[in-house]
Every structure is written in C-alpha cells, then in structure tokens.
Amino acid sequence: MNTILVVDDVPENISILSELLLPYYRVRAANCGKRAIQVANTLPKPDLILLDIMMPDIDGYEVLKQLQKNKNTANIPVIFVTALDAHFNEEQGLKLGAVDYIAKPITPAIVLARVKTHITLKTSQQRLKCQNTSLELEVEKRMQENCFIQDASIYALACLAEIRDPETGNHLRRTKKYMALLCRQLQNHPKFMHFLTPENIKLLVTSTPLHDIGKIGIPDSVLLKAGKLTDAERTKMKMHTCLGFKAITLAEQEAAKPIEFLRMAKDVILYHHEKWDGSGYPHGLSGNNIPIAGRLMALADVFDALISQRVYKPPFSLEKTTKIIKEGKNKHFDPDIVDAFFVLQEDFQQIALKYADTAEDVLLKSSDFERDLSCSCDDKYDL
C-alpha cells in the first residue's frame, strides 16, 4: 500500500484529508514543517506529500526546498494544498518543484484523482528505473564477457606466435605488466598525458601480448636457426613487424566498424623496434615521430630480453640490464620513458622475479629450439 504524508498546521484539515485517503492509502501526518521533514525521512517513506504552504514555523516553500536538498527525500513528489489561490503562489510552487497544486476548500474527487495520478506516475517511474538498472547491469555483464573473450582471444593469438618462438609464455605476462607500470607512471607527464588516457592505457596494455604476432610468418629456417643470422636472414626476421601489422590491418578491414583496440595493436606491433635515433626498423622513424605505443613497448621488450633467461643466454643482472637501458637513452629509447623506467626499476625487477622462467621452462624450449650459446645478446635481444 502506498503511503501519503499530509502536512498541515490545522488539525481539522489533517482529519478531512486522512478520512478521504485512508480507504486507499496508508496515511501519515505532520502538523508543522519541521515535523514534516522528520517524518519524510523515516519509514514507511511517503510516496507522495500533500503539503500546506501557510504554516507558522517553516512554510511549505521552505519545507520543499529542504526536502529536495536531501537525497533521501528529493524524489518524493509534493502537491501543495493551500487556501492561497493566487496565480503567483501556484506558479512559485511549481517552479520550486511541486508536481501539482490543489486549492482549499478541497473537492474530494479532485484530491483523489490528483493523488492517484501522481502515485501512478511515481510507480511507473520507479518501475522504469528498475528496468533501466536491470538493463544496465545486463549490458555491463555482457561487456565484461566480451572483454574476457577479447582478452582470451588475444592471448591465444599471442601464444600461437610463442609456440614457434624460443621465448616462453611468461615473456607475454611480464611485458604486459611492464607496460602497465610505464603507462601509470607517465599518464600525467605533459608529453604523454594527451595519449595515455584511461581508455588508451587499457587498450595498450591489452594489446601488448600481440607485439611479436608477426613471427608466425617468419620461416622456420630463420626463426629456429641455431647461431647467428646472416644479414639476409636478419632482414627476413625484421619483417615480423610488417607481417603482424598486415594481419591486424586485414582483420580491421573485415570489421563492420573501426575498432580502437586493433588500431592500438597495430602501433605496438609495427613500431616496437623503432629507435629514438632513427636506427630502428621497419621505417627508421626517430624521436617523437615514433608512436608512443611503440616507444613504450620498445623499452618493456628490451628490458625483458636482457633480464630474463633465454635458451641462447643466461639472465643479465639488474645492474647490467639497467646499464644497457641507460646507455640506450636518446639512442634506442625515448629519454622520458627511460627516466620513468628508473623510477620504476624496483617494480620491474619484482615482476621479473615473480614471473621468472624456470630452468625447466627454458630447457623445454631448448629441446625444441637448440641455439648456439655463443650467439651474443646484441644479436638477439632486439629482434
């Protein structure tokens, strides 16, 4: 049963309205403005308030203002019931937010009709709000499911490349976490803040595992070769950035509409081997001409190659790894990203330790991909 709060400083007026409404509604009463505000905040909460304007302590206008300031009572519809019948008073009440205006002396049929109309309207609004909330929850659930499917699909694609690569799957986990660290550190940096929005950071971190997806297209004779690569073979190996970019571009063209994630993935894949001084590949871009996604991925990828155990080398110490990163500042890497790395180096090290490859992981890989241990890291880590 719906609850009506009747507010009037004259007991006879409360009695008249209560007798009229009680057959259809639960009725609560208040004989002053202060009491009305208290009752409106207690259970059972009124579904509608019939409010007198002329009261000795706080008039109806002020009561309405205070009700609307309180989030617990702001949505309760209010009908002014008053002997003031001037057009000005009615207009003022409606401007303040009252839903209707009934003049005294009341006509029972009019009161019942107005109350029923606004109770029905409020009930419909509440039902619509519940439906909207339910729909929002369902949409959020579906979006979460889609994100889960997307993440799983991305990881599955990345693992396809990893199956043919001598690096272990932990490389994907580590580089993804390194990327997240760098993005959070640089998101308020004047040089990067326009790009590192929360949405772009999410897309960037999600797309990180795809950085070497193009290695699927590299011939086994090159990808799995024991020992150093010839110049021609290194040229073929470098094509993995373009092959991965082409694959994502084709997927993008098949999509019914632009997909921001694919756009971000293309930058990560194509540009993560470009170097700040222009000596990288595939396009020899330099400085700020290299997309930010590629610059961030470059440092994350190289750090992991240096500090991790690979089938062709033992892990470098943190000291040696950071020395190489420092030497690469303004050469291989964006100097601001290097500065961010040194702020985060302990966090990088913790991730490297937590997700380190075991000897068993590396031996398992090396049984499939035997490498010449005399091959230097300089030949391998930036491929």
pLDDT along the chain (383 residues), means of 10: 95 96 96 95 95 91 95 94 69 87 92 95 90 87 75 69 63 93 97 96 92 88 81 93 92 79 92 97 97 97 89 82 96 98 96 80 48 44 62
Q: What is the pLDDT of residue 69?
A: 94
Q: What is the pLDDT of residue 315?
A: 85
Q: What is the pLDDT of residue 262?
A: 87
**All structural domains of the chain:** 3-132 (3.40.50.2300), 166-380 (1.10.3210.10)
Q: What is the pLDDT of residue 346?
A: 94
The pLDDT tens digits of the residues spanning 76-93 come to 999 999 886 655 577 788
The two structure tokens encoding residue 38 = 């208290």
* Distance from C-alpha of 239 to C-alpha of 245, rounded to nearest angstrom: 10
pTM: 0.61
The pLDDT tens digits of the residues spanning 182-211 come to 999 999 999 999 999 999 999 999 899 899
3-state SS of 286-310? CHHHCCHHHHHHHHHHHHHHHHCCE
| Arithmetic mean of pLDDT over the chain | 87
Q: Which residues, in sequence order, are bridge partners of residue 4?
A: 27, 48
* Cβ atoms of 48 and 2 closer than 8 Å: yes
Q: Which residues, in sequence order, are bridge partners of residue 80?
A: 51, 101
